[in-house]
């Protein structure tokens, strides 16, 4: 080899700069973080989904999840309702579910797959006090059960109600959620199991940036077919999983009131005040104390204490 | 207890037994100077103990089952409502009610208002126990409570608000432990340890203000992670932390009023003349402070409503709940305090304080539980969860009473008669001799 070649040196330098920039971005300019350039994503075309639930089955198999009560070809699950008419949601037994929605305008039902949307700036990650979450450069938001204390802040913070908790376990309850098939597939450049199995090609795997372009192209090509919006392009700072639809998103259980900026930006004001309080309060209150004290006098506190009768 | 005292029994209130003219033994101190039979006798005769025993009898097995069968056994195991009563009441309500320690500490130590001194120790103990049991509730809620130290030692997430809460509550617990330990050292007969605590008191108090400002606020800031889930009337992106911090001030002051009222009614035998004679004056002083805190809180809540233009929500069902909370928890107490202070009606101030305390609990429960997920469905706590909350609260009251019975919180410890040579360690060193001398000759 004989020393470092110029190219390697440059690579190293670039990496160092990139790291610095990335770190400083994380700590100072987080609201502007728009995802890793090579981040992958999935574009869900709700007009193509037929509600066959094969993605649910593939996910179950891929992750070795428990066998459900009803088989995956049983479509009566679409009529299941939980607490106060809530539709099915991901939990400790399933990382993804498909729900059926009847459009209010009439017409064919729409099926929507729910899983972790893998936000660019995940609220779960930024709210976790033990750093159990990682946003990988491939775009996945992965969770480390080894350090999780079980405060369930991430569940409170997730705007999509995605993380579930294995409440049934007494000794090792953990967060359960879709991990984009990160460890077995995504790191090797493979699409997640649900995408691979989809017979309708309703799920499109690719670079997030390209998917946005494709989504826009589809909407432009068939403006009568699609609502002019890619859900996830900008919601809470952008997500890796995105949706296009023929029906208004709010009718399909999507929260269309979500803020555009990442959740963490709501907390920035408070976090920024912390060091100021730490720095200013001691002088401020010691100053009050000095002002309140009588001139030249002793504090006098407690001098009588213990005198008794 | 009163019965014995009426008969002329002497309760431990100093290092030496006045009857036998020798230092109390530890056992005697623990039994307040009674024989075991006498002590047991009064405990059995106290009906409150039977109520507590009944609650523990039911509650302790439920607590054990929570750890044996998991959280899902005593809660609804909801993925939509990850936080229930344990945090809604135990953490979010107990912590503001325990702001008393830093408030009275600041009043006395920093602002030098020594006229509030008779109640300072009660406020400090109230703060310490409140935080301690907030952590107990937290332990009941955490999925893996044995990992509680993880954010300190195993894996850091310093950008998270909860990280700040964790560190601050832990640090502040130690600070309060040190502050309250002064009374323990008196009781135990360690004057030098107490003198050391006195020396660092100003530092401890200032640390208490910093930590309290930040973590009381941080508890509010936690909810800004869930902007769409907390109902707009209880949510403000900009002001949430100020709402929580500001309301913790009347909460802490009123909690001291409530605690001192209970103490005065149920264990007047333990209070000394200094405490009892000053209590009415102090109560009105605290009520004045609480009223100012509440007026400020009401003002910034109105600013919050206007800032986010949330007036429209007032007409909804949630609006009624909000107005009820503000009326009974803020506006009525303000009027009561104002009238009580003006006309020196202590009982009215006490009632106002009770309303404020309940109002704060109601506010925190509304934010964390009742109006949380307002777009989904309301969650009512599981019976198991409720039993555990009541049981832990009972244990809190029992520990509270245990300490009040013994430590010089409500009364002053009688003078320590220490041999002079031991008491004045280095008379030549003028600087150092100050505190110990003052301590002993006092």
Q: Around Cβ B139, how many Cβ atoms within 10 Å?
A: 15
Q: Among B163, B186, B238, whose Cβ lies nearest the Cβ of A129?
A: B163
What is the dihedral sign for C-alpha B285, B290, B293, B295? negative
- By C-alpha distance, which of A172, A171, A170, A165 is closest to B70? A170
Task: Using an 8 Å CB-CB cutoff, list chain A residues near B114.
Answer: 300-301
Give the residue on B whose Cα is nearest the Cα of A236.
B227
SS (H, E, C) B244-263: HHHHHHHHHHHHHHHHHHHH
Instruction: Indicate which of B138, B142, B160, B433 best probes the interface with A, i.e. most A CBs within 10 Å of its own CB.
Output: B160
pLDDT tens string, chain A, 309 residues long: the values are: 344 454 444 444 444 444 444 444 444 444 566 677 789 999 999 999 999 999 999 999 999 999 999 999 998 999 998 888 889 999 999 999 999 999 888 888 999 999 999 999 999 999 999 999 999 999 999 999 999 999 999 999 999 999 999 998 999 999 999 999 999 999 999 999 999 999 999 999 999 999 999 999 999 999 999 999 999 999 999 999 999 999 999 999 999 999 999 999 999 989 999 999 999 999 999 999 999 887 655 555 544 443 333
Question: What does the pLDDT look like over B288-328, one tens digit per residue?
Answer: 999 999 999 999 999 999 999 999 999 999 999 999 999 99
H or E, element range at B229: none
DSSP assignment letter at B290 = H
- By C-alpha distance, which of A13, A97, A119 is closest to A49? A97
H or E, element range at B380: none
Residue B247's contacts (CB-CB under 8 Å, 6 or more residues apart) are: B96, B293, B297, B360, B363
In a domain, A97, yes or no: yes
Q: What is the pLDDT of residue A14?
A: 46
- By C-alpha distance, which of B418, B410, B442, B417 is closest to B32? B410
Instruction: Indicate which of B91, B157, B168 best probes the interface with A, i.e. most A CBs within 10 Å of its own CB.
Output: B157
Cβ pair A130:B375 closer than 8 A: no
Q: Please identify which residue in the block is written with the tokens 């193509």.
A: A48
- By C-alpha distance, which of B207, B277, B216 is closest to B251? B216
Q: What is the pLDDT of residue A298?
A: 52
Residue-wise DSSP of chain A: --S--HHHHHHHHHHHHHHHHHHHHHHH-GGG----TT-EEEEEETTT-----HHHHHHHHHTTPPPPSS-TT-GGGGG---GGGPPP--BTTBS-EEEEE--TT-SS-EEEEE----BSS-HHHHH-TT--EEE-TTS-EEE-TTT-----HHHHH-TT---EE-TT-SS---EE---TTTTTTGGGTPPPHHHHH-TT--EEEEEHHHHHHHHHHHHHH-TTTS-S--BTSSGGG-BSEEEE-SS-GGGGT--TT--SS-TTHHHHHHHHHHHHHHHHHHHHHHHHHHHHSPTT----TTSSTT---
To 5 degrees, how large is the angle CA B83–CA A162–CA B92? 15
Residue B261's contacts (CB-CB under 8 Å, 6 or more residues apart) are: B283, B350, B353
Cβ pair B227:A263 closer than 8 A: yes
Domain B83-411: CATH superfamily, name plus number: Formate dehydrogenase/DMSO reductase domain (1.20.1630.10)
Cβ pair B144:A149 closer than 8 A: yes
Is pLDDT larger for residue B94 or for residue B436? Answer: B94
Question: What does the pLDDT look like over B72-84, one tens digit per residue?
Answer: 999 998 999 999 9
Q: What is the pLDDT of residue B379?
A: 85
In a domain, A146, yes or no: yes
Q: What is the pLDDT of residue A296?
A: 55
Question: What does the pLDDT look like over B381-398, one tens digit per residue?
Answer: 999 999 999 999 999 999
Count of the separate structural domains present in chain A: 1
- The alpha-carbon gap from B45 to the nearest alpha carbon of chain A, in Å, equals 31
Task: Using an 8 Å CB-CB cutoff, list chain A residues near B140.
Answer: none
- By C-alpha distance, which of B275, B251, B281, B442 is closest to B358? B251
Domain with CATH 1.20.1630.10 in chain B: 83-411
Q: Among A153, A161, A173, whose Cβ lies nearest the Cβ of B162?
A: A153
Contact indicator for B237, A31 with CB cutoff of 8 Å: no
Token couple for B303: 């600013």
Q: Around Cβ B353, how many Cβ atoms within 10 Å?
A: 29
Q: What is the pLDDT of residue B417?
A: 54
Residue A81: give its domain's CATH number.
Answer: 3.30.70.20
Total residues belonging to chain A: 309
Helix-helix angle B317-326:B346-365, to 10 degrees:
150
Contact indicator for B388, B63 with CB cutoff of 8 Å: yes
- The alpha-carbon gap from A236 to the nearest alpha carbon of chain B, in Å, equals 11
Contact indicator for B26, B10 with CB cutoff of 8 Å: no
Task: Using an 8 Å CB-CB cutoff, list chain B residues near A303.
Answer: 438, 442
CB pairs under 8 A between A and B: 219
- The alpha-carbon gap from B99 to the nearest alpha carbon of chain A, in Å, equals 17
Rounded to whole angstroms, the Cα distance separating A73 from A56 reads 10
Looking at A27-36, B42-51, B231-240, B305-314, which range is the least confident one?
A: A27-36
Cβ pair B108:A266 closer than 8 A: no
Give the domain range for residue A193.
38-265
Q: What is the pLDDT of residue B361?
A: 97
Residue B367's contacts (CB-CB under 8 Å, 6 or more residues apart) are: B92, B223, B230, B234, B235
Token couple for B211: 């930590």
> From the CA atom positions of chain B, what is the Rg in Å?
23
Coil, helix or strand at residue B90: helix
Cβ pair A156:B225 closer than 8 A: yes
Task: Provide the CA A298 distance to its chain's centre, in angstroms.
Answer: 57
H or E, element range at B17: strand B16-17
Q: Among A129, A161, A266, whose Cβ lies nearest the Cβ of B80?
A: A161
Rounded to whole angstroms, the Cα distance separating A204 from A217 reads 14
In a domain, A106, yes or no: yes
- The alpha-carbon gap from A237 to the nearest alpha carbon of chain B, in Å, equals 14
* SS3 of chain B: helix, strand, coil, percent, to 5: 75, 0, 25
Residue B68's contacts (CB-CB under 8 Å, 6 or more residues apart) are: A170
- The alpha-carbon gap from A132 to the nearest alpha carbon of chain B, in Å, equals 8
Task: Using an 8 Å CB-CB cutoff, list chain A residues near B307.
Answer: none
H or E, element range at B23: strand B22-23
Q: What is the pLDDT of residue A24?
A: 42
Q: Among A156, A168, A270, whose Cβ lies nearest the Cβ of B221?
A: A270
Cβ pair B156:A130 closer than 8 A: yes
A241-244 and A40-45 beta bridge pairing: parallel
Coil, helix or strand at residue B38: helix
Task: Using an 8 Å CB-CB cutoff, list chain B residues near A261.
Answer: none
Contact indicator for A165, B143 with CB cutoff of 8 Å: yes
- The alpha-carbon gap from B285 to the nearest alpha carbon of chain A, in Å, equals 18
- By C-alpha distance, which of B391, B438, B415, B352 is closest to B16? B415
Residue A152's contacts (CB-CB under 8 Å, 6 or more residues apart) are: A165, A175, B82, B83, B143
pLDDT, averaged across chain B: 90
Q: What is the pLDDT of residue A293?
A: 80
Contact indicator for B163, B151 with CB cutoff of 8 Å: yes
ipTM of the complex: 0.86
Rounded to whole angstroms, the Cα distance separating B418 from B193 reads 14
Q: What is the pLDDT of residue B10?
A: 79
H or E, element range at B208: helix B201-221
DSSP assignment letter at B370 = I
Instruction: Indicate which of A26, A82, A94, A149 best probes the interface with B, i.e. most B CBs within 10 Å of its own CB.
Output: A149
Q: Around Cβ B438, how many Cβ atoms within 10 Å?
A: 15
If phi over 0 gives left and psi between -120 and 50 gives alpha, with beta otherwise, what is residue A73?
alpha
DSSP assignment letter at B22 = E
Rounded to whole angstroms, the Cα distance separating A7 from A13 reads 10
Task: Provide the CA A105 distance to its chain's centre, in angstroms.
Answer: 32
Residue A160's contacts (CB-CB under 8 Å, 6 or more residues apart) are: A114, A116, A117, A255
What is the dihedral sign for C-alpha A56, A57, A62, A63? positive
Rounded to whole angstroms, the Cα distance separating B414 from B17 reads 11
Token couple for B231: 């109902």
């Amino acid at each position: 080899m004989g020393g470092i070649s110029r190219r390697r040196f440059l690579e190293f330098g670039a990496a160092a700069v990139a790291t610095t920039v990335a770190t400083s971005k994380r700590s100072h300019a987080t609201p502007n973080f728009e995802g890793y350039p090579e981040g992958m994503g999935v574009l869900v075309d709700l007009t193509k989904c037929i509600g066959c639930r094969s993605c649910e089955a593939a996910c179950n198999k891929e992750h070795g999840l428990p066998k459900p009560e009803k088989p995956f070809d049983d479509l009566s699950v679409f009529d299941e309702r939980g607490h106060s008419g809530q539709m099915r949601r991901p939990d400790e037994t399933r990382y993804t579910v498909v729900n059926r929605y009847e459009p209010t305008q009439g017409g064919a039902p729409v099926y929507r797959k729910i899983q972790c949307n893998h936000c660019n700036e995940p609220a779960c990650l930024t709210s976790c006090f033990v750093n159990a979450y990682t946003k990988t450069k491939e775009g996945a938001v992965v969770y480390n059960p080894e350090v999780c204390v079980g405060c369930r802040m991430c569940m409170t913070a997730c705007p999509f109600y995605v993380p579930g908790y294995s409440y049934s376990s007494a000794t090792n309850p953990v967060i359960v959620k879709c991990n984009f098939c990160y460890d077995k597939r995504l790191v090797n450049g493979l699409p997640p199991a649900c995408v691979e199995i989809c017979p309708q090609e309703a799920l499109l795997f690719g670079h997030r940036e390209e998917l946005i372009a494709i989504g826009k192209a589809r909407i432009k090509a068939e403006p009568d077919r699609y609502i002019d919006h890619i859900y996830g392009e900008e919601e809470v700072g952008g997500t890796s999983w995105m949706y296009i639809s023929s029906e208004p998103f709010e009718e399909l259980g999507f929260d269309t009131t979500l803020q555009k900026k990442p959740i963490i930006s709501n907390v920035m004001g408070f976090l920024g005040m912390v060091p100021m309080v730490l720095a200013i309060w001691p002088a401020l209150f010691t100053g009050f104390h000095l002002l309140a004290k009588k001139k030249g006098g002793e504090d006098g506190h407690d001098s009588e204490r213990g005198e008794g009768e | 207890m009163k019965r014995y005292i009426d008969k002329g029994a002497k309760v431990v209130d100093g290092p030496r037994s006045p009857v036998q003219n020798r230092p109390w033994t530890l056992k005697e101190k623990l039994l307040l100077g009674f024989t075991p039979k006498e002590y047991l006798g009064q405990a059995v005769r106290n009906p409150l103990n039977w109520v507590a025993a009944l609650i523990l009898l039911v509650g302790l097995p439920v607590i054990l089952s929570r750890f044996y069968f998991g959280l899902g056994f005593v809660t609804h195991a909801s993925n939509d409502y990850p936080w229930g009563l344990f945090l809604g009441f135990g953490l979010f309500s107990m912590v503001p009610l325990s702001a008393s320690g830093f408030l009275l500490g600041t009043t006395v130590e920093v602002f030098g208002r020594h006229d509030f001194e008779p109640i300072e120790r009660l406020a400090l103990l109230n703060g310490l126990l409140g935080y301690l049991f907030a952590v107990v509730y937290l332990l009941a809620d955490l999925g893996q409570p044995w990992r509680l130290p993880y954010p300190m030692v195993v894996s850091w997430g310093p950008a998270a608000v909860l990280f700040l809460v964790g560190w601050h509550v832990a640090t502040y617990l130690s600070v309060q432990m040190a502050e309250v330990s002064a009374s323990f050292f008196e009781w135990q007969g360690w004057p030098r340890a107490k003198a050391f605590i006195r020396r660092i008191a100003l530092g401890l108090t200032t640390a208490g203000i910093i930590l309290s400002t930040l973590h009381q606020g941080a508890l509010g800031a936690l909810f800004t992670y869930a902007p769409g889930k907390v109902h707009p009337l209880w949510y403000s992106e900009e002001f949430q932390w100020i709402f929580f911090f500001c309301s913790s001030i009347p909460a802490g002051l009123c909690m001291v009023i409530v605690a001192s009222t209970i103490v005065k009614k149920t264990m007047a035998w333990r209070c000394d003349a200094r405490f009892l004679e000053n209590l009415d004056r102090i109560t009105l002083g605290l009520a004045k402070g609480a009223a100012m805190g509440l007026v400020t809180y009401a003002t910034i809540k109105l600013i919050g409503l206007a800032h986010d233009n949330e007036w429209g929500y007032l007409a909804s069902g949630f609006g009624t709940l909000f107005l009820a909370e503000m009326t009974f928890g803020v506006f009525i107490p303000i009027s009561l305090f104002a009238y009580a202070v003006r006309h020196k009606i202590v009982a009215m101030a006490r009632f106002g304080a009770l309303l404020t305390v309940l109002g704060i609990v109601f506010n925190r429960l509304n934010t964390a539980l009742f109006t949380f997920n307002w777009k989904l469905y309301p969650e009512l706590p599981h019976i198991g969860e409720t039993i555990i909350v009541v049981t832990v609260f009972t244990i809190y009251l029992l520990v509270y009473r245990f300490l009040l019975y013994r430590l010089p919180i409500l009364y002053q410890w009688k003078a320590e008669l220490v041999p002079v040579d031991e008491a004045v360690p280095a008379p030549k060193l003028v600087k150092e001799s100050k505190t110990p001398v003052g301590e002993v000759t006092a």
